[in-house]
Amino acid sequence: MCEKEKKEKRDREEDGLNLEKVMRERNQDNRFARMLGITVVEMRRGFAKASMAISKDVKNPIGSVHGGCLFTLADVVCGAAASSYGMQVTTLDSSFHFLRAGLDDCRELFATAQVIKHGKRVTVLETKVTDQTGRVLCAGTFTYMSLGKALPY
């Protein structure tokens, strides 16, 4: 195993927390995200990546991906990254910028979240949502509060 793989494994299993299991359980337990087709595909300490396949069901009347779906994808991926420290969290605040419409050629979305600052009670993250070509559709900052309870898995 190379050094990069060893570091990624340590990041996924730090402090006895199995992030593969956390990711699997979060994907299973988040029924709203499942209904929209959102799946967290990668989690490391302070980082997460998610994807969402686009169907006509998530498009608005002008044919672009509904802004609520874009925001939800960002919130889900930021929540995953914020919970990578082993605690239950809830969204406190966000500043989200819609930069480009996801029009007819938009078939799949990807979102990443990276922790900017992790504290005992508050975690701040930055996020980007892109389409399958890498075009940035949205970007934002999310703030989460720890509920003071360990994750149940």
Q: CA 144, CA 108: separation in Å to the nearest integer? A: 26
Cα separation, 88 vs 53, whole angstroms = 27
Residue 153 pLDDT greater than 80, yes or no: yes
The percentage of the chain sitting over the pLDDT mark of 90, rounded to a whole number, equals: 88
Residue pLDDT, tens place only, 21-63: 999 999 999 999 999 999 999 999 999 999 999 999 999 999 9
The 10s digit of each residue's pLDDT in 77-96 is 999 999 999 999 999 999 99
- CA nearest 36: which of 27, 44, 23? 27
Identify the H or E element spanning 24. helix 19-29
The phi, psi pair for 130, rounded to 5°, reads -125, 165
Could you tell me the two tokens for 136? Answer: 């940035």
Measured CA angle at 55 (ends 49, 60), to 5 deg: 100
Region 114-131: what's the mean pLDDT? Answer: 98
* Burial (Cβ within 10 Å: 0-12, 13-18, ≥19) of residue 94: middle
- What is the assigned CATH class of domain 3-150? alpha beta
pLDDT-derived band at 65 (thresholds 50, 70, 90) equals: very high
